[in-house]
């Protein structure tokens, strides 16, 4: 089980802007999700469109669900996703040129993670970093789970720990570079809080 919690209203307001499209994922029985709060927030924010759906962690399902909304999605300058970290990463990988932001933080609850088809991984770190990392999770895509940028260990784009694995931080940098968003890496120093539960 895991639990998602909405990021503070001010945080969401500061990332969303007026041309935001909101995607909410409520399908999964493994995730406790604050449905009412999210609905209220969407209403107040009045973006250019929204979709409440399920299992966005499955890219095929996600694209199927989004088909009818493509026009609005293309017009949006940000996509705010209310889901666990896996869902945000899936959306982000489908819209690499856009700002895709997490509206939630994901925490673990005792028990398994459920049966989501895991192309992307979320470690439920409790303070989702995806909004500064181009939607690629630094906790699971980096062998050292670094949150302040890459170590000096990558060679030819591969991680120092495993030559078959792409360096997560080089992936983050390349995705942000492609979207012209490398400035988002100038966030204040991050220090992980291992007491979050």
Where does this chain bind another protein (CB under 8 A)? 143-157, 160-161, 169-170, 173, 177, 182, 185-186, 189-192, 194
Q: Which does 72 bind (CB under 5 to 8 A by kind): another protein, ligand SF4, none?
A: none
Q: Rounded to the nearest whole angstrom, what is the least distance from the CB of residue 196 to another protein in the complex?
A: 14
Q: Which does 46 bind (CB under 5 to 8 A by kind): ligand SF4, another protein, none?
A: none
The sheet carrying 20-25 orders its strands as: 49-53, 20-25, 78-82, 99-102
Where along the sequence are the contacts to ligand SF4 (CB under 6 A)?
85, 105-106, 122-125, 128-130, 137, 139-140, 142-144, 146, 150-151, 153-154, 159-161, 167-169
Q: Helix 9-16 to helix 35-45 angle, to the nearest 10 degrees?
A: 40
79 DSSP 8-state letter: E
Nearest CB to another protein, comparing residues 111 and 152: 152
Question: What is the DSSP track for 128-188?
Answer: --GGGTTT--HHHHSTT--SSS--TT-BTTB-SS-TTSB-HHHHHHHHHHHTT-GGGG-PP
Q: Rounded to the nearest whole angstrom, what is the least distance from the CB of residue 28 to ligand SF4 in the complex?
A: 14
Q: Which does 113 bind (CB under 5 to 8 A by kind): ligand SF4, another protein, none?
A: none
């Amino acid at each position: 089980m895991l639990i998602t919690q909405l990021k503070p209203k001010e945080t969401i307001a500061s990332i969303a802007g007026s041309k935001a499209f909101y995607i909410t994922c409520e399908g999964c029985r493994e995730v406790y999700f604050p449905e009412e709060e999210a609905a209220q927030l969407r209403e107040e924010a009045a973006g250019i469109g929204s979709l409440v759906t399920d299992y966005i962690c499955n890219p095929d399902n996600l694209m199927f669900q989004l088909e009818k909304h493509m026009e609005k999605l293309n017009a949006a300058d940000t996509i705010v996703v209310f889901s666990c970290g896996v869902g945000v990463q899936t959306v982000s990988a489908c819209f690499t040129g856009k700002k895709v932001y997490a509206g939630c933080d994901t925490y673990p609850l005792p028990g398994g993670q459920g049966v989501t088809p895991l192309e992307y991984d979320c470690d439920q770190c409790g303070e989702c970093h995806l909004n500064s990392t181009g939607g690629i999770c630094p906790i699971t895509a980096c062998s050292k789970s670094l949150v302040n940028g890459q170590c000096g260990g990558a060679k030819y784009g591969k991680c120092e720990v495993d030559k078959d694995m792409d360096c997560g931080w080089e992936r983050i940098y390349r995705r942000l570079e492609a979207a012209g968003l490398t400035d988002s890496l100038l966030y204040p120093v991050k220090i992980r809080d291992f007491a979050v539960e």
